[in-house]
Every structure is written in C-alpha cells, then in structure tokens.
Structure 1
Amino acid sequence: MERPADFSLEPATDRPTVALAGDWTARMLGGAGPGLAEALDGLDNVAIDLSRVRRMDTAGAYAIVRAAGRGFELDKVKARPETLRLLEVVHEAVKVEPETRRGPARESLTVRVGKGVVAFGKDFLDTMGFLGHLLVVLGRSFVWLFTDPRRIRWPALVSTMERAGLDAIPVVAVTTFFIGAVVAFIGASMLRQFGAQVFAVELIGISMMREFNIVITAVLLAGRSASAFAAEIGSMKMNQEIDAMRVMGVDPFEALVLPRFAALVVVIPLLTFVATLSGLVGGIIVAWSTLDLGPAFFLQRIVDSVGPTHFWLALIKAPFMAGVIAGIGCRQGMEVGGDVQSLGRRVTAAVVHAIFAIIVIDAAFALIYMELDV
C-alpha cells in the first residue's frame, strides 16, 4: 500500500535533523517537496534521515536535493545504499556551478573577440584540409580518366549535372531575362536625357555579357545547389551513412564531393550562356518597345561595338565560382553534427558563404581585368 510522502523536523543544538517517511515518488510526492524546502530554508548543517522512506524515484530525489539547496552533502544523509546512489546521480545532474564574477565589459569583449579569432583559425585550418583532400581526389580522378575511366562514378556525375544544370535553366533564364529588361529600362530613362538612347545597346550588352550573366547564375546556383549539396551530405552525415562508407573503404570525397564539384564546373558555362541569351532578349524587347531600336539593329550593334570579348571574360570566372560554390556546399555538409539544428545552420552557412565568395571572386577579377586593361 502506497503512503504519501511526509517529513518531520527535529531541532537540535548541534545539528538539526529532518526525518522523511512514506513514498517519495512522483505519484505520492504531493506538496511534500515545497514544504520540505520551506522547512529547511535558513537552516545550515542539516542532517537528512531517509531510513523510514519506503520507495523513492528521481522525482523524490530531485525534491530532496532541491530542498537542501547548495548545502546538500551525501555524508549528511542516512539512507540505504541504493537510495544514496540515486541521490548522488540526481545531485550530479542538477548541480549548479557557482556563478563566476563577471569581469569588466572590456574583458567580456576581449573574450568574445578571442573566441572568434580561435574559431576563425580553426575554420580556416579545416577549410585548408578539405581543399587539400579535394585536390588529391581531383588529381587521382584525372589520372583515372586516362588510365581507368570505370573508376569514376559517371552515373552520379551525370545525375548531378542534370539536377544542378538542366533543371536550373528555367529559373536562370527567367531571372536574367528580367535583369536584362531592368537594365534596359534604366539605360533608356537615363540616356534619353542626353539624347544618347542608342548607347543603351552597349550598356545592355556589356552589363549582361560581362557581369550579370555569370554573377546572377552563380548566385542562383549558390541558393539552389550549395544548399542542396549541404542538405544532402548533411543528412547522410546525420544518418551515419558517411561513417558506413568509410568503414567499407569508400572515400566520401570520391563518392559524394567529386561528382558534385565536377558537375557544377561542367554545367556553369552552359548556364552562363543561357543567362547571356536570356538577358539580351529581355534588353532587346525593352529597347524595341521604348527606344524603337529594332532587333536587327540591336544585334548588329552588339556585334560591332561590344563583341564576344566580354562574354569570354565572364566565362573565365565561371569555373572558379562553380568550384567555390560546390566546395562550400559540400564542406558545410561534411561539418553537420547529429541534430537538425546543426543541419539548418550549415545549410544557411553554405548559401551565405557561397554568395560572399562569389562577390569576392567577381571583385578580384574586376581588379585583374582593370590592371590588364581588358
């Protein structure tokens, strides 16, 4: 028969003692826990006698530990060995470390900056390790291409090319179409003030063939493919599939990273070409409707005044941006932990880092082209 939890306080001159009785379980605890805490409030060096306690679970042990507060010590408790063990486990689980004195605000700032620098250094070293492993796999696969092509995972490569390349053509085409149209609208409204509407063709051609085609394509791939790569590999990491691959002797870089890296490098020139055509079409439609510049005149002026040089300059950037996008997405996927929050953080980081890297690469190439006067 179950008995409700109860206690009695026996004051003494040297050490007060609280004697507990009944069943200190979640079912029979009732208000004994708060009552015990109120009774022990303000008392020091209290002995706890649990010899009359019949049964106890973690809820009862937690109520006793919480009521005793920071003064709880096992050597002051009289109980059976199994009860002492339960109290010890609960006490270790809920023990609160004493609050450390907070230093000045500048110390806290210094600590945060130091932790940030350490985290940045660790992240940099991990990135260099990832890059080194990837370069080794790329070199090995390049040798296989001529010596043993069957070792290359062609199905995974082709499948990734379809998902990252062909399936991305509609969104790339639609986005760059409207970008070309917007550039044409801005050029028409600005150049009309100076009577130089005809130069809107050069504005549209250079901006779309040199910058917007590759930048917009890369940003869309960062949001579409980098996040997908991080989510796919991260899910496999959470399910311990990557660990299983290592146990079976399969290098995850060869099976997962290399196909995605190669697929993006191969398909990004195609997407850049599609983006260029779509952007020019958007510019042609706007120039025709607002400036009365016909498609034949527009294309002829593109050929005579702009030329293909700007397109090739944009295409040079494509492999670098594709490699960075694929590398960042795969690396963030490899860093996923065992929880969903880690997966979400890594997917977000993959997109943000990839877009930031795209902007940095584009700015670096702009400086190089300026120095080369091209």
Structure 2
Amino acid sequence: MASPPAPPELTATVTDGALRLSGDFIIWTLDKLPAEAASAKTIDLSGVGRLDTAAAAYLTGRERDGVTLQGLSTAQAGFLDTVRAARPQPETIPPEPTGWRAICENTGRKVFSSLSFLRELAEYLGRFLSAILRSIRHPRDFRFTSLVYHCQETGLRAVPIVALMSFLIGVVLAFQGASQLQRFGAEIFVVDLIAIAVLRELGILLTAIIVAGRTASALTASIGSMKMNEEIDAMRTLGLDPDMVLILPRVLALVITLPILGLISDIAGLAGGALMSWIELGISPSMFKYRLLADTNVNHVIVGLSKAPVFALIIGIIGCHAGMKVGNDAESLGAQTSTAVVNAIFAVIVADALFSIFFSEIGI
C-alpha cells in the first residue's frame, strides 16, 4: 500500500533585507512567511521547488511594489510571466477636460445627441407614414375602433380646458389692449388686435401646448407601461405590428382632432375678447362682429389652422418615441414621460417660430 504524500514544507528566513525561501511555495505554505517578509527588498527563490498560482500572484504583487526576485529557474520565470499577463490591470481613467476643451466636448456631445434624437424622430415619422400606406392598401388592418377611442381621449376630453384657456386669453388680450390703446384714442383697434393674435398665433399655439402637456405624457405612459410589461413583445410574437396597433391610431387621432380644437380655441378666444371689449370699452357684440368681419382677413384663419396638423405630428411622434424608449423600471417611465412633455412643447414653439418666419417671407 502506497504511503500518503508528505505535507508541503517551506523554510523562510530574512537576513540583510532579503527573504530566502526553500521548499514548496504554494497556497498552503503562504501563511508560513514571517512578518519580516513584508519589509524585504529582495526575494531569493533558488531553493524553491514547487510554485503555484497563489504564490506566483504574491510574488508578482511584491514585484509591483519594487521587490527584486532572484534565483528563478527558467520554468518558474515563464510561469511568472504567464501570471503577470493574466493579472487584471487597473483601468486608467483619463482626467476630466477643463477650460475650452470641456466646453467643446460638452457642446459636441449635446450636438451629437440632438442629431441622434432627430434621426430617431425621422424614423418614427417614416414608420407612421408607412403604416398609413399599409392601411390604405389593406383596409382590414386599420383599427377604426382604436382611432375613435383616441379621438375621444385626445380631442373631446380636451375641449373644456382648451375653450376655458382660450376664453381667458381673449379676456386678457382685450383688457391689456384696451388699457394701452385708450391712451391714443384707438380703442376700436382692440378688435383687430384680438383677431390677429388669436386667429394667427395664440389660439393654435396655446392649444398645441396644452395638448402637448396632456397628450404627449399620456402617449408615453400608455405605450411605456406596455413596454415595461412586455406586451409589445407579445404583440410581435402574435404577428401584430406595433406601428399599426399603437402608433398609427394615436398619431392619426391627433392629426384629426387638433385642427378642431384649434377652431374651438379661436371661437372661445374671440368670445372672451368680445366680452371684455363690451365691458371695458363699450364695444357692443354687433360692433365687434362687424369690425371683425370687415377688417380681418381670412388668411389669418388659414395661417393658424394650417399649423395644426404639423403640431399634431410633432406631439404624436415625440410621445410615441418616448414611450418606445421606456426601459423595464418605473424610474425610466417617469423620466421619459417628463422628457416627452418638455420636448413636445419645445418643438411646438420652435415650429411655430419657423411658420411665422415662413409666412412673413411669403407675405401671408
């Protein structure tokens, strides 16, 4: 019967700042190193027979601290080279740029992020247009019930707040215009002020801002919750196209209802202006109506309402895009919802400014 192997033995002595080892330098003998070994500047390994990875890791670590290794055989030196190559290297973090470099880097990152965001919005616009073409070719794939439901949610339910807001805006315009124009005896021109401001700019702009805050958040929350619950993946598994089921009815409902809401906003704004003009300036409703029809060009109505479909596309695409970007946690849903509202309102205001410049250039 073979006798059991002898236990590993290690002899370690420290003399003149040098640690001399002999025997088996392996994981089981590491604890036999004396306390003085930590201050040794040289390690003599000429008497070491067996060497494992634990001891090699200790030696390479001491080597990084400036300790010199002596007496290595060719095999031991090659083994240590292998351990050195496999040792994880600390990641070198470059210093944060400062001054002009930091400004240029931050600007570049924001520009690249903005361009990437615009590219993604263009992709979702293309998906919406593709879904429209597909619904025209295959009418049975179009979900009319979903369209009616979203028209009710985004349009009908928004009528009270839009009408009240526009009515109050008309009141404020009439009151402020009256207080200024009375100084020059031109009170009658308050009708022109109200008509142009409400019909051309404020009516549709403020309506779009309200819809952006109300509907963009709702689109992001509804689609985002489905994304969190993996319902969109289930749709794809069942062979349903999320563009046809989710994006098309929501965006198309906005395109249909926002011009109607804009028209309601114009009527409510003019009604508020007429009421305050009657109270503040004594301009009767019949006189207000006569002045409105005589001096207000129909181009103002066309300019205002022509912006509505574009604003609707902007709000719908941004809301659906943000909903699809939601991750698997509630924090992501909240962040994307607030981001969608901010981006939609900002984009609507920028688009309105571009429309104003365009119509001014062509003389309308």
Is the structural similarity TM-score above 0.5?
Answer: yes
**Residue of structure 1 equivalent to 2:135:** 141
Using the TM superposition, give the Cα deviation of residue 247 of structure 1 relative to its aligned residue in structure 2, in angstroms. Answer: 1.5
1:102 corresponds in structure 2 to: 95
| Structure-2 change in CA distance of 1:124 and 1:211 (3 Å) | closer
CA contact (8 A) 2:254 2:316 kept: yes
Matched with 1:337 is 327
C-alpha separation between the residues in 2 aligned to 1:238 and 1:155? Answer: 25
- Once the two structures are superposed, what CA deviation does each residue of 1:180-216 show, in whole Å capped at 9, x if it has no partner? 1111111100100000001101111111111111001
| 1:18–1:194 distance in 2 versus 1, CA, 3 Å | farther
Q: Match of 2:255? A: 265
Post-superposition CA distance 1:268-291 (Å, at most 9, x none): 121111111111111111101110
Among 123, 146, 161, the alignment partner of 1:156 is 146
Cα deviation 1:225-283 (Å, max 9, x = unaligned): 01110111111111111111112111111000000111011111211111111111111
The alpha-carbon distance between structure 1 residues 114 and 209, as it changes in their structure 2 partners (threshold 3 A), is closer
The one-letter code matched in structure 1 to 2:266 is: T
1:231 aligns with 221
Residue of structure 2 equivalent to 1:368: 358
Q: Secondary structure at the match of 1:336?
A: coil
Q: CA RMSD in A?
A: 2.8
Report the counterpart of residue 115 of structure 1 in structure 2.
Answer: 109
| Mapped pair 1:304 → 2:308 | no
CA distance in 2 between counterparts of 1:261 and 1:302 reads 34
Q: Report the Cα offset of residue 117 of structure 1.
A: 3.6
1:294 aligns with 2:287: no
Query: Unpaired runs of 5+ in structure 1?
Result: 1-10, 20-39, 46-71, 78-94
Conserved in 1, the CA contact under 8 Å of 2:30 and 2:55? no
**Are residues 156 and 98 of structure 1, via their aligned partners in 2, closer, same or farther at CA, if it must alter by over 3 Å?**
same
Which one has a bigger Cα radius of gyration? 2
State the shift of 1:12 in Å: 7.3
In the other structure, the counterpart of 1:55 is: none
In the alignment, is residue 127 of structure 1 matched against residue 121 of structure 2? yes
Deviations 1:148-206 (A, max 9, x none): 3x321011111100010000000001111111111111110010000000110111111
Distance 1:122 1:44 in 2: 57
Deviation at 1:111, TM superposition (A): 3.7
Distance 1:358 1:96, change over 3 A: farther
What code does the residue aligned with 1:100 have? I
Kindly tell me: are residues 326 and 314 of structure 1, through their superposed partners in 2, closer, same or farther at Cα, counting changes over 3 Å? same
Q: How does 1:15-34 map to 2 (within 5 A)?
A: none
| Residue 163 to residue 109, structure 1, CA distance change in 2 (3 Å) | same
The alignment of Structure 1 onto Structure 2 pairs a total of residues equal to 296
1:356 positional shift:
1.5
Deviations 1:332-360 (A, max 9, x none): 11111122222222112211111122112
The equivalences for 1:166-181 within 5 A come to 166-181=156-171
Q: Which residue of 2 aligns with 1:216?
A: 206
Change (3 A) 1:324 1:74: farther
Give secondary structure in 1 for the equivalent of 2:217. Answer: helix
Give the superposition deviation at 1:18: 6.0
2:44 matched to which residue of 1?
none
TM-score when normalising by structure 1: 0.72
Distance 2:115 2:55 in 1: 43
* Distance of 1:74 and 1:160 partners within structure 2: 69
After superposition, the Cα gap between the structure-2 partners of 1:12 and 1:155, relative to the gap in structure 1 and judged at 3 Å, is farther
- Displacement of 1:126: 2.2
Match 1:253 to one of 239, 243, 248: 243
Q: 1:243 to 1:297 in 2, by over 3 A?
A: same
Deviations 1:292-324 (A, max 9, x none): 111111111111111433112211111111111
Is residue 194 of structure 1 aligned with residue 184 of structure 2? yes
Q: Does 1:321 align with 2:311?
A: yes
CA displacement at 1:44 relative to structure 2: 7.9
Change (3 A) 1:199 1:74: farther
Distance 2:299 2:55 in 1: 81
Identity of aligned residues (%): 38
